[in-house]
């Protein structure tokens, strides 16, 4: 049986088993291919990844020069829809032979479809996912997911090695950072997590307000038992997020999940009045100046209180509808020794003090769901 990429790198002492273990955890939490996470963690560089991908798949790899100097005539041979569908970019044409840079050059249906559509013989080359993502945006205007924006430190918390990864193509200059906001002082409740005790499995007895827009997608009303089952059976991180926001969307006006990557909080999934917030995954809140998200990340603690009007707090609220709530609750999920996900909820419940769902315990269930996925990932890698 062919060796997995991670095994190859460990066998040749490029990374340690501990490096691989940490990377597999980050892959489950943040998504993307293993190689992408290895680069972001600072364990390998792009050249090393391309070399090992070529050995593993038995297909030659591209060079940065090949991908950075593609003529418009060659690029026009494939529409953006197919480029995005198969993560494949045409990079050269020699008579009747079309050379493709692909994330998965073993995808024979993709090669057959592209060959049929263009009328050329396709010669696939393997390219790292990260470089293809940047090229797709640069050449075809295919917006990269925020998940692929470089950060100034590795996903796992350690600083990236010099030369590990730089954006391969000159992109537009990033937007100016928000101006510094002086630290704020407010009356807030900032407490340590309570000890784990029994879960309250009683479904709330308050009725759904008349005229409320149904959940998208529409699902039966969730209970603690049903959310636990969904979390246990989740196949990927997005199913975990969907289960959590669907469940809490029954109880709160707004529910949002943020992923923490480096010095950025990135929108993951969110609902407002039981409706999914479109393009929430395009949200990015810098953690370089005062905000509630930064405070929760830095202090690794639960927050309940008002929202001070800072630049980044305003951006956070704008991404979720804009109105200012009376009280918000923000709960961190800590894995790998750091905050990796933040849960935000506000509104609707008038009896929060008396019958508040134990959000921290629910986050504990989410952490266990991630652990299950991590174990599955390890099994597949062994």
pLDDT at 74 over 60: yes
Do 133 and 7 form a contact (C-beta atoms < 8 A)?
no
Q: What is the pLDDT of residues 142-180, one digit of tens each?
A: 887 656 655 444 444 443 444 444 444 333 333 333 333
**pTM of the predicted model, to two decimals?**
0.61
pLDDT at residue 200 in the model: 34
Class of domain 5-148: alpha beta
* Domain limits, CATH 3.30.300.160, in the chain: 5-148
Q: Which residue has the tokens 């999934």?
A: 269
Q: Which residues contact 201 (CB under 8 A, 6 or more apart)?
A: 223, 224, 225
pLDDT number for residue 152: 40
- Residue 330, pLDDT above cutoff 70: yes
Name residues whose C-beta falls within 8 Å of residue 271's C-beta, 6 or more positions apart in sequence.
215, 245, 246, 249, 254, 255, 256, 277
Average the pLDDT over 274-301 and give the result.
Answer: 90
Which range has the worst mean pLDDT, 136-150, 277-291, 295-309? 136-150
What's the mean pLDDT when you consider all of the chain? Answer: 78
CATH 3.30.450.40-classified regions of the chain: 189-381
Instruction: Inform me whether the pLDDT recorded for 210 exceeds 60.
Output: no
Question: How much is the average pLDDT of 233-257?
Answer: 89
Percentage of the chain beyond pLDDT 70 is: 76
Quick check: helix, strand or coil at residue 344?
strand
pLDDT at 143: 80
pLDDT tier at 31, thresholds 50, 70, 90: confident
Q: When comparing pLDDT for 258 and 226, which is higher?
A: 258
* Confidence label for 272 from pLDDT (cuts 50, 70 and 90): very high
Percentage of residues in the chain having pLDDT higher than 90: 30
Using the CB atoms, write b or e for 204-222: b if 16+ within 10 Å: eeeeeeeeeeebeeebeeb
Specify the CATH class of 189-381 in words: alpha beta
Average pLDDT over residues 352-371: 73
């Amino acid at each position: 049986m062919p060796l997995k990429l991670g095994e190859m790198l460990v066998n040749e002492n490029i990374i340690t088993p501990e490096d691989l273990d940490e990377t597999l955890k980050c892959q489950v939490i943040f998504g993307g291919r293993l190689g992408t996470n290895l680069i972001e963690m600072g364990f390998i560089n792009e050249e090393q990844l391309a070399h090992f991908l070529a050995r593993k798949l038995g297909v030659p790899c591209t060079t940065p020069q090949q991908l950075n100097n593609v003529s418009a005539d060659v690029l026009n041979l494939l529409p953006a829809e197919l480029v995005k569908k198969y993560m494949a970019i045409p990079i050269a044409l020699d008579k009747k032979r079309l050379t493709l840079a692909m994330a998965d050059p073993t995808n024979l249906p993709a090669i057959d479809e592209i060959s049929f559509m263009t009328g050329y013989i396709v010669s696939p080359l393997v390219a790292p996912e990260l470089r293809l993502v940047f090229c797709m945006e640069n050449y075809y205007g295919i917006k990269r997911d925020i998940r692929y924006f470089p950060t100034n430190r590795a996903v796992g918390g350690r600083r990236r090695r010099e030369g590990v990864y730089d954006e391969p193509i000159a992109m537009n200059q990033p937007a100016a950072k928000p101006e510094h906001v002086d630290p704020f002082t407010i009356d807030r409740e900032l407490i340590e997590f309570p000890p784990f005790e029994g879960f309250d499995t009683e479904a709330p007895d308050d009725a759904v307000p008349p005229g409320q827009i149904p959940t998208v997608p529409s699902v039966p009303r969730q209970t603690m038992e049903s959310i636990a089952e969904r979390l246990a059976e989740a196949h990927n991180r997005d199913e975990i997020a969907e289960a959590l926001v669907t469940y809490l969307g029954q109880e709160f006006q707004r529910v949002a999940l943020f992923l923490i990557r480096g010095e950025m909080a990135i929108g993951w999934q969110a609902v407002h009045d039981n409706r999914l917030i479109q393009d929430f995954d395009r949200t990015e809140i810098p953690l370089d100046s005062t905000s509630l998200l930064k405070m929760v990340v830095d202090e690794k603690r639960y927050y309940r209180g008002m929202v001070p009007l800072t630049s980044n707090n305003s951006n956070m609220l704008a991404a979720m509808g804009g109105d200012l709530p009376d009280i918000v609750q923000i709960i961190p999920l800590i894995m790998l020794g750091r905050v990796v996900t933040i849960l935000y909820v506000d509104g609707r419940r008038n009896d929060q003090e008396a019958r508040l769902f134990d959000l921290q315990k629910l986050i504990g269930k989410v952490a266990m769901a991630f652990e299950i996925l991590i174990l599955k990932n390890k099994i597949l890698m062994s």
